[in-house]
Amino acid sequence: MAMEAEFEAAVEDRRPFLFALGCLFVAWREIGKHSEGRLILASYALALGLLIPMATLQFQQAVGFLSSADGPPFGIPSAGDGPNLYLIWSQNSAIPILLITWLLLGMAHLCLAWTLVEGIGRAS
């Protein structure tokens, strides 16, 4: 009730945005003092700092592999020799499964981040 009265006073002074910013600042300052707040911060840090960048890396690998200027990598040529035909065949046959694996790993990281953040939101 006190917050509502303060908000109404802020609206009358035509400063509701400053009131909201002050409330947000106090909430951020107090969130680390409670165990539930620390759990929420850690979950968001894990999702935003590790899982989403890993998903981005997986998608970047798949897209970079498809759009490379030199084409897919072939066998490692030795001194003066051309590429090994057996290596070219085996690497070309692995391309689809590599792309599927990179895309599935990226989606799995995104789903894990979503589940982590959503599970914390539901628990609080």
Give 32 or 113, the one with higher predicted confidence.
Answer: 113
DSSP letter for each residue of 22-59: HHHHHHHHHHTTSHHHHHHHHHHHHIIIIIHHHHHHHH
Give 68 or 11, the one with higher predicted confidence.
Answer: 11
Q: For the whole prediction, is pTM greater than 0.75?
A: no
Sorted by where each begins, the domain ranges of the chain are 1-31, 34-123
What value does the mean pLDDT take over residues 65-87? 60
Candidate ranges 4-13, 31-40, 87-96; pick with highest mean pLDDT:
31-40
Candidate ranges 12-16, 28-32, 41-45, 52-56; pick with highest mean pLDDT:
52-56
For residue 68, is pLDDT > 90?
A: no
pLDDT in tens, 85-113: 777 777 778 888 989 999 999 999 999 99
pLDDT in tens, 108-124: 999 999 999 988 766 65
Q: How far apart are CA 86 and CA 94, in angstroms?
A: 13
Q: How far apart are CA 91 and CA 74, in angstroms?
A: 7
Residues 49 and 123 sit within 8 Å (Cβ to Cβ): no
% of residues, the chain, pLDDT over 90: 27
